[in-house]
Amino acid sequence: MEKEQSIYYYYLISCRDELVKHSYIGKTQNFELRKQHHKYHCNDSKYPQHNYKLYKTIRKYGGFLNFKIELIYEVHGLSRQEACEFERALYDEYRPSLNNNIPNRSYKEYIRDNYKQILIKRKDRENCFWCQKSVLKSHMKNHRKSKKCLLKKTKKLKNEILDKLQIK
Ligand SMILES: [Zn+2]
């Protein structure tokens, strides 16, 4: 199979209001342009996409500005076919409510089968306040509940108290 060696960007659309659980996974080769298209499709009824479930839902929950589009992966070296497979694999990880396609392979299986051939860069990371580990922003909540992080947190808080009391 011919490899196109192009870069694919995968993104997550979710509501800024965390109580609204709807989300959408998309892929593109031009992230900035794709974001613009989402905006036009959502706001302008002249586009046939305007009545997609995605845009109806966005309009229902406060409109385009109440949603964020986060880059979650930048992947190099995929053929077009593989890029679609990877996208479907992400559905398994994020379980977006606004995508119509059905996943055919789990994310873990996908990584296991492909990790040697492709370069996957996770995006939008931040350092955990408690343990300094670099964590994907969308996973930070779960990370903070992990045993390792909780231990670091407890230790840090304890040290702060001991410092205040000047006993160590
Ligand atoms: Zn942590």
Contacts of 38 (CB under 8 A, 6+ apart): 13, 26, 64, 69
Query: In the chain, how many domains are there?
Result: 2
Based on the fold, state whether residues 95 and 142 are members of the same structural domain. Answer: no
Determine the structural domain holding residue 134 and report its residue range: 126-165
- Sequential pLDDT tens for the chain (168 residues): 444 468 999 999 999 998 999 999 999 999 999 999 999 999 999 998 899 999 999 999 999 999 999 999 898 888 887 788 788 878 878 889 998 755 455 666 666 666 656 666 666 788 898 898 888 887 888 999 999 999 988 888 888 777 777 765
- Return the closest-CA partner of residue 98 out of 23, 13, 161: 23
Distance CA 107, CA 110 (A): 5
Yes or no: say if 135 and 128 are a contact pair by the CB < 8 Å rule: yes
Q: How far is the CA of 151 from the centre of ligand 1 (A)?
A: 9
DSSP of 74-141: EEEEE-HHHHHHHHHHHHHHH--SS--S---S-HHHHHHHHTTT-EEEE-SEEE-TTT--EEEGGGHH
Q: How far is the CA of 38 from the centre of ligand 1 (A)?
A: 34
Q: How far is the CA of 136 from the centre of ligand 1 (A)?
A: 11
Based on the fold, state whether residues 83 and 135 are members of the same structural domain. Answer: no
Domain-located, residue 52: yes
43-82 pLDDT, tens digit per residue, is 999 998 899 999 999 999 999 999 999 999 898 888 887 7
